[in-house]
């Protein structure tokens, strides 16, 4: 891909940590505790090469500068990944009680949001030591932490989407009939890497009746002429996610296949047109669902319309009934309605969409019509 991403700067990370601390404070919390995972990577640019049983802990609060506690042997790597102008690093040595060392950085009566990727053993260790403190899940209290992307992040999301589109452009030129789902899935994985992904997260190939199970990945079923095939694939490129679905037909579709595909396409289009700043996430779900329900297939649309995406391929916000949070420019999420006819076939069409001041903008732009493959 043409884009070479601009590295995130120390100022980007400082601003993110400041905002996280302020958001926690606005939520009535004293701070945030972050262990290795997407939150730590987003906040500091640091991802330990091995996520180990040894405690690595970032402490954010409005009362003090960010502090990062690392195992002594990880300190050189941590210092080269996160400059001292970004965070104050301290360490603990094998043989120390890491929770006791961490306790010196913490307020024993405070309330903290804790990143969801924190291992239970670490949280239990902190709870044992700080029995007057309270701990809450980041996803429960600060779900929008990483939801709004800046220009640099959006450029990476756009590149990941364009790469996924290039993969679709290639896969439809290959033969489907007579090959196994796993063969097509292997091609998708190889193409994602060829077009620049550093990580492949999923390659769904749901042929015929397998397409009616939205969580089917790929199995050893041989694809036949006359099958509908749900393709849903994605991963990470420049650290940001792609996720797109198209449903193709091997040879000529039946009239029911065409009808169902048209309905899903109309639902996807309607939901896309509903995107604008300030609209509730659940309204995007409702819009897609209305089209499918009015066409008589409401019972066959068995999942939410979409999920947020960024440094992970599934994250808040969710386009689902009950999600009243409004969309905000810079948010990125999927719009992926589907209809699933048990024992027969499924259809899903999915694009990643970002919110702009004027409405939605798609990062996936391949043909949403029913593509016929061999
Ligand atoms: Zn799922
Ligand atoms: Zn998907
Ligand atoms: Zn998705």
Which residues in the chain come in under a pLDDT of 50?
1
Q: How far is the CA of 279 from the centre of ligand 3 (A)?
A: 20
Burial class of residue 233 (count of CB atoms within 10 Å of its CB; 0-12, 13-18, 19+): buried
Give the single-character DSSP code of 303: S
* pLDDT tens digits, 351-364: 999 999 999 999 99
Ligand number with the minimum distance to the CA of 203: 2
- Ligand in nearest proximity to the CA of 214: 1
- Whole-angstrom CA distances from 135 to 25, 39, 128, 130, 140 are 14, 16, 12, 10, 11
Start-to-end CA span in the chain (Å): 28
Q: Is the dihedral of CA 265, 268, 269, 270 positive or negative?
A: positive
Query: What percentage of residues in the chain have a pLDDT greater than 70?
Result: 99
Q: How far is the CA of 81 from the centre of ligand 1 (A)?
A: 33
pLDDT number for residue 62: 87
Report phi then psi at 80, rounded to 5: -75, -25
Spacing, Cα 58 to ligand 3 middle (Å): 30
Question: Do residues 329 and 132 touch, judged by C-beta distance below 8 A?
Answer: no
Q: What is the pLDDT of residues 135-164, one digit of tens each?
A: 999 999 999 999 999 999 999 999 999 999
Give the phi and the psi of residue 216 in degrees, each rounded to 5.
-65, 135
Q: Ligand 2 centre from 350 Cα, in Å?
A: 6
| Rounded Cα distance, 336 and 314, in Å | 13
Mean pLDDT of the chain: 96
Tell me, in angstroms, the distance from the centre of ligand 3 to residue 147's CA: 15
CB-based contact 353:361 (threshold 8 Å): yes
d(CA 338, CA 260): 9
From the CA of 206, the nearest ligand is 2
Distance 242 CA to ligand 2 centre (A): 8
CB 50 within 8 A of CB 69: no
Residue 83: predicted pLDDT:
84
Ligand 2 centre distance from Cα of residue 307 (Å)? 9
Handedness of CA 295, 298, 300, 306 (dihedral sign): positive
Residue-range domains of the chain with CATH: 10-141 (3.40.350.10), 151-373 (3.90.230.10)
CA distances from 367 to 117, 247, 284, 286, 364 (A): 37, 10, 22, 24, 9
Among the bound ligands, name the one nearest to the CA of residue 312.
3
Which stretches within 94-220 are classed as H helix? Answer: 98-103, 120-129, 138-141, 151-171, 181-194
3-class DSSP string for 238-292? CCEECCEEEEEEECCCCHHHHHHHHHHHHHHHHHHHCCCCCCEHHHHHHHHHHHH
Centroid of ligand 2 to alpha carbon of 333 (angstroms): 11
Q: Tell how far the Cα of 233 is from the centroid of ligand 2, in angstroms.
A: 6
């Amino acid at each position: 891909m043409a884009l070479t991403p601009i590295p995130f700067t120390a100022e980007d990370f400082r601003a993110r940590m400041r905002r996280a601390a302020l958001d926690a404070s606005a939520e009535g919390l004293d701070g945030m505790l972050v262990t290795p995972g997407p939150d730590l990577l987003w906040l500091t640019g640091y991802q330990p090469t091995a996520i180990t049983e040894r405690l690595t802990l970032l402490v954010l609060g409005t009362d003090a500068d960010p502090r990062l506690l690392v195992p002594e042997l990880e300190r050189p790597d941590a210092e080269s990944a996160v400059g001292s102008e970004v965070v104050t690093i301290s360490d603990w040595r094998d043989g120390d009680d890491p929770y006791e060392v961490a306790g010196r950085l913490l307020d024993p009566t405070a309330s903290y949001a804790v990143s969801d990727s924190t291992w239970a053993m670490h949280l239990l260790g902190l709870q044992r030591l700080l029995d007057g403190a309270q701990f809450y899940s980041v996803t429960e209290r600060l779900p929008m932490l990483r939801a709004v992307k800046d220009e640099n992040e959006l450029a990476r999301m756009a590149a990941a989407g364009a790469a996924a589109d290039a993969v679709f452009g290639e896969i439809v030129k290959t033969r489907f009939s007579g090959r196994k789902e796993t063969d097509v899935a292997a091609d998708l994985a190889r193409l994602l890497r060829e077009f620049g992904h550093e990580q492949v997260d999923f390659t769904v190939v749901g042929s015929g009746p397998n397409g009616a199970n939205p969580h089917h990945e790929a199995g050893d079923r041989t694809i036949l002429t006359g099958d509908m095939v749900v393709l849903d694939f994605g991963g990470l490129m420049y650290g940001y996610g792609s996720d797109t679905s198209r449903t193709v037909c091997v040879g000529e579709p039946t009239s029911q296949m065409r009808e169902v595909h048209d309905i899903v396409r109309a639902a996807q289009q309607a939901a896309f047109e509903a995107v604008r700043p300030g609209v509730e996430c659940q309204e995007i779900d409702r819009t897609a669902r209305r089209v499918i329900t009015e066409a008589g297939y409401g019972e066959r649309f068995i999942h939410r319309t979409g999920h947020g995406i960024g440094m992970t391929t599934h994250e808040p916000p969710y386009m689902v009934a009950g999600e009243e949070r409004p969309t905000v420019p810079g948010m990125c999420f999927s719009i992926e309605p589907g209809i699933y006819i048990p024992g027969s076939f499924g259809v899903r069409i999915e694009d990643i969409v970002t919110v702009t001041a004027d409405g939605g903008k798609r990062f996936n732009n391949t043909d949403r019509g029913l593509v016929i493959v061999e």
